[in-house]
Copies of this chain bind each other. A is one copy, B any other.
Amino acid sequence: MQDITAGQFQIVYNAFSFTIAVMGAATVFFLFNRSQVAPVYRAAITLTGLVTLIACYHYFRIFSSWEAAYTLMNGKVVPTGVAFNDGYRYVDWLLTVPLLLVELIFVMRLSRAETVAKSVRLGLLAALMVILGYPGEISTNTGTRWIWWALAMIPFLFIVYDLFVGLKKSIASQPEAVRGMVSTARWITIVSWFFYPVVFIFPMIGFTGGGATTAVQVGYTISDIVAKAMFGVFIYLIAVRKSEAEVQLRGTEGQSLAPAGAD
């Protein structure tokens, strides 16, 4: 592990604890408020709660791993020799990133065929992306890191393209009241996702030492909060608005609220 100052250790430590609180509170919020949306959107909200629950668990582990990696000796924070386990982030992402994408697809309430096709395609691409990133993350060799980074960027760019172009078309089919919010959720995904490959390359562009370790850990943490909890709140608000819009529609036009296959 890198040498870091007591202040840097503390920033990362507090950022991890903060994230445990955010993810835990978000999980309770989503699971308890699931009943506030129409049945057809409940599967999306359940997934949103699962994403933050899984992240909450992993941040507990990440927090403990960080504590175990350093110790106080003569008033200084020094590495213990036990490596901080980056694996927790990757197993977290392996589960949560496909779920996040499926959650966005579900809340859009596309046709059953489109829902299944998009969920399978984006879910598998997301898993592939995370798997390809891991060998690079645990390597200290800059060349090796670049190779795996480039390989992981292939599914990454496919997903972003799909969100950017594929979902853009679907936005036009959304009720007018939520079109802006769906578009914002799409942008949150795209922008927060771009943080990850950027944070990944910090050590490869000469940004090393305690400052870099701190920036990488805090960077991934902020990205996770935005991509999981904040994004989840948007998914929830979209589901609430769509539920309201559809109740009104049903009142005036007798339209059915039968599930579309999302749940």
Contacts and interface: CB of A to CB of B under 8 A. Distances in A.
A50 B25 contact: yes
Interface in A18-47: 18, 20-22, 24-25, 28-29, 31-34, 36, 39, 42-43, 46
A175 interface: no
A12 B263 CA distance: 34
Contacts of A90: 14
A81 B91 contact: no
A179 interface: no
Given A32-B34, A91-B17, A263-B240, A72 B82 contact: yes
A261 to B, nearest CB: 9
B85 A21 contact: no
A28 B57 contact: no
A10 interface: yes
Q: Number of contact residues on A: which range applies? A: 35 or more
Interface in A61-119: 61, 72, 75, 81-82, 85, 87-88, 90-92, 94-95
A57 B85 CA distance: 22
A186 interface: no
A259 interface: yes
A86 B55 CA distance: 25
A53 interface: yes
A162 interface: no
Contact of A61 (B17, B22, B57, B58): B17
A87 B10 contact: yes
Interface in A190-229: none
A248 to B, nearest CB: 10
A244 interface: yes
A123 interface: no
A32 B31 contact: yes
Contacts of A88: 14, 17
8 contacts: A10-B85, A17-B91, A20-B57, A21-B54, A22-B95, A25-B54, A33-B42, A36-B42
